Amino acid sequence: MPLAREVFATFEKLDVSAHPWVLIGNIINYARDKKHIPITEVFKKNYDIEAFHSEVEADLIEAIKQRGGEHGNTPEIIQIHAVYTQLICFFSCVLNAIQNGPTSQAHRNFVSQINSEDCVITFNWDTLLDRALNETGKWNAESGYGFIPGEVFRDGWEATVAKPKFPGGPKLIKLHGSTNWITSYIGIDSDIHAPYLLQEAPNDIVRVFEFSTKPYACYAGRYMPGYEPFSYGYYPPNLTNDRGKSAPPEHVFFSIRPKHPYMPEGTAPDDGVTTLPLIIPPVRIKNYGLFGGLFKSLWQQASQAISTSDTIFVIGYSFPETDTRSLDLFKQAFVLRRSFPRVVIINPSPERNIDVFKRTLGIPASHLEIRKNYFDGNIKKLCGTQ
């Protein structure tokens, strides 16, 4: 995972950055008009994507407030909303590109040491761990995420019925979503000026992408081949088994897609409801509620695991001061405990974690084990010496 200040610069180094189907025009125009950044410099400097995306979000909220009770969306709302959704696709595209290669040895080492009693909680959006778990044959997308997906994409959408949890398969709880979780495109309701999902299914119904070996229906037929399982090109597959939300009485939905002479046409199908990766983007105000009770359930499952585990490994995560909800998760879970857990911190700079667990969470030093290491292929044992 690149750091927040590395995402823009990372994108420019990727081959996919030169692909005409990877849309960045709205992002560039916003940077030019709102932040006065020359268009040639947007991807050359270490701009913080969390700060950038948060500013876009704040502008969108303000534009919606200015509209008040009036009917219809203003051009400004439409324009900023386009920037917001383009940032979601851009961010996911970067992650899908940089994880597109051999299975991570660090994650393979990790999953070889966990079993069905373990719960892995992550704030990351990438699917390196998902892929390593799936390759063990002891975990699957139907039962491994803490919810039952509405469908799983395996060269086409397959309806799912929860399979019995495989012996040795842990639970993987992704508290900020995942690049391979698929939801419908997010629109702005022109009457109440609030975001909504275009899908007909309830908002907490999530689809999961596993793999494609052939073209699938997507926006403008722009299927991009060459990706490993659990990742895809810029465009995820459309929802072909969902009619989409109906228009209100006396209204009709329509869409316009301008065609440009320099833009090659897609050759894959384009039927179905347009989709987006279901991620909670790196913004200050995270809109968990848009997806119904999905994230409420996931955070409750995470709290349950933290409150009952004998040993808690904290690998790489350092409780950033701006992420107060994650610290609250631990505080609330620890209140429910009757005994101290053993806490193993694996981090090359563990000072922030040590302070949090000692001073904020009240864990005595006797229950802390510090491993000043990076999480990489050299981690062959989670406990004890390597």
For residue 104, give both structure tokens. 């991570």
Q: What tokens appear for 106 in the block?
A: 């660090």
3-state secondary structure of 57: helix
Three-state secondary structure call for residue 359: helix
- H or E element, residue 128: helix 128-135
What pLDDT score was predicted for residue 370? 94
pLDDT for res 385: 46
Closest CA to 204 of 113, 298, 120: 298
Other C-beta atoms closer than 10 Å to the C-beta of 331 total: 14
Specify whether the backbone of 226 is left (phi greater than 0), alpha (psi in -120 to 50) or beta.
left
Sign of CA dihedral 32, 35, 40, 44: negative
Cα gap 130→1, rounded to integer Å: 14
CA 187/CA 165 separation, integer angstroms:
36
- Strand-pairing partners, residue 312, are 343
Q: pLDDT tens across 275-320, in order? A: 999 999 888 778 899 999 999 999 999 999 999 999 999 998 888 8
Please give the span between the terminal C-alpha atoms of the chain, in angstroms, as a whole number: 24
Per-residue buried b or exposed e for 183-203, using 16+ beta carbons within 10 Å of the residue's own CB: bbbbbbebeebebebbbebeb
3-class DSSP state for residue 362? coil
Q: Kindly report whether the global pTM for this prediction surpasses the value 0.75.
A: yes
Q: What share of the chain is helix, strand, coil (3-state, %, to 5)?
A: 35, 15, 50
Residue 133 region by backbone torsions, left for phi larger than 0, else alpha for psi between -120 and 50, else beta: alpha
d(CA 130, CA 134): 6
Distance CA 224, CA 236 (A): 9
Looking at residue 264, its pLDDT comes to: 92
Give per-residue pLDDT as tens, 219-233.
999 999 999 999 999
| Cα(46)–Cα(26) distance, integer angstroms | 19
Q: Which pLDDT belongs to residue 386?
A: 46
How many helices (H) does the chain have, and how many strands (E)?
9, 12
One digit per residue, pLDDT tens: the chain, 386 residues?
A: 777 888 988 999 999 999 999 999 999 999 999 888 888 888 877 778 888 898 998 898 888 888 765 666 788 888 999 999 999 999 999 999 999 999 999 999 999 998 889 999 999 999 999 999 999 988 999 889 999 999 999 999 999 876 666 656 799 999 999 999 999 999 887 777 788 899 999 999 999 999 999 999 999 999 999 999 999 999 999 999 999 998 888 888 777 887 888 889 999 999 999 999 999 988 877 889 999 999 999 999 999 999 999 999 999 888 887 678 899 999 999 999 999 999 999 999 999 999 999 999 999 999 999 999 888 877 777 765 44
Which amino acid would we find at residue 141? A
Pick the closest to residue 128 from 72, 179, 170 (CA basis). Answer: 179
Residue with tokens 């802390």: 368
* 3-state per-residue secondary structure call for 5-43: HHHHHHHHHCHHHHCCCCCCHHHHHHHHHHCCCCCCCCC
